[in-house]
Structure 1
Amino acid sequence: MIPDMRTPRFTIPSPVARIVARLPAAPPAFVLARALDFGVGRIVSREQVAPLQGKRFALVVRDLGLAMHVESTPAGFRVARAPYAPDLTVAATLSDFIALARREEDPDTLFFARRLAVEGDTELGLVLKNLLDGIDWRTVLERIVPFPGPRRPAA
């Protein structure tokens, strides 16, 4: 859990979701692809992401009506252009995705509670889950945004 506060469960208000659902999906998918590219070599090795090469993914934020489609290529991750069938689709609410990223919720628990849907290549889903589970998110997040807390004495 990062830090010691749990993220409250929330739902995106319907008017906001209706607006977001009408916006182009490419900009958020581009940000997702760039974030994934940033992590390769810094957070995970190229060898670890090799099984993902040539695969297409859809990340669906249910309560926003947002579906981000990315694919893994030899040059890195990029926005996947529709129409195509993704190899793997992962869907949840924004609140549940945040809880997963903060490790406040276990993916298996959310899956069996039907709050996380995984469709498509289940073996690929397991590879992705194990890859994400191996990341020390606290260290990654602390590099990006230092968490408030007791200050260490100056040396």
Structure 2
Amino acid sequence: MNTHFTIPKFRLPSFVARLGERLPQWPHALALVAGLNAALKMKLLPASELALLEDKLFRVRVNDTGGEASYTYRNGLFRPVFRPQREPDLAFAANLSAYLQLLARQEDPDTLFFNRELEITGNTELGLVVKNMLDAIEWPRLPLIQTSH
């Protein structure tokens, strides 16, 4: 029997974000940058668009965990920015469930944005470039979970 897992819309309790904001944020940036660089290495990101990201500052905030990661793209690699000296060129903010739905391709960025579940601020043109890059990614197919009763 094939089982299709759907990520529900959820919001973590507010104390999680209050606690998360007090924790070091550098691990989030390292994990995000590692994932982005792995996507680069696997050639999942369209190379033609990467030059448009050069030296831009990005921020990803997970509202209900209190986590935040800033990073840039420079000389062919994504790099963490631990203490940003300026406002990001492009910033994303959403709850964990919205990011998971986006990664699973259960929801698209437009739907999340128009349902006010994904906040995007900054350079509109850069936002479209990033959105188009996300849409163009061909994620490796994972096998469905087989369950028996």
Letter in 1 for 2:55: G
Higher strand share: 2
Identity %: 40
State the SS of the aligned residue for 1:119. Answer: strand
Shift of 1:45: 4.5
Letter in 2 for 1:48: E
C-alpha separation between the residues in 2 aligned to 1:16 and 1:62?
10
Which residue pairs with 2:70 in the alignment? 69
C-alpha separation between the residues in 1 aligned to 2:4 and 2:24?
36
- Decide whether the 8 Å contact of 2:46 with 2:133 is kept in 1: no
1:46 maps to 2:43:
no
Which residue pairs with 1:129 in the alignment? 131
1:149 maps to 2:146:
yes
C-alpha separation between the residues in 2 aligned to 1:18 and 1:105?
27
Letter in 2 for 1:15: F
Runs of 4+ in 1 over 6 A off after TM superposition: none
Q: Which runs of 5+ in 2 are unaligned?
A: none
RMSD: 1.8
C-alpha separation between the residues in 2 aligned to 1:104 and 1:14?
25
Change (3 A) 1:38 1:21: same
Letter in 2 for 1:39: A
Q: Which runs of 5+ in 1 are unaligned?
A: 151-155
State the SS of the aligned residue for 2:69. Answer: strand
Change (3 A) 1:14 1:78: same
Q: How many residues get paired? A: 143
Bigger relative contact order, structure 1 or 2 (CA pairs below 8 A, ≥6 apart): 2
More displaced, 60-69 or 43-52? 43-52
Question: How high is the TM-score relative to the length of structure 2?
Answer: 0.87
Shift of 1:132: 0.7
Alignment of 1:25-104 (within 5 A): 25-42=25-42, 43-80=44-81, 81-104=83-106
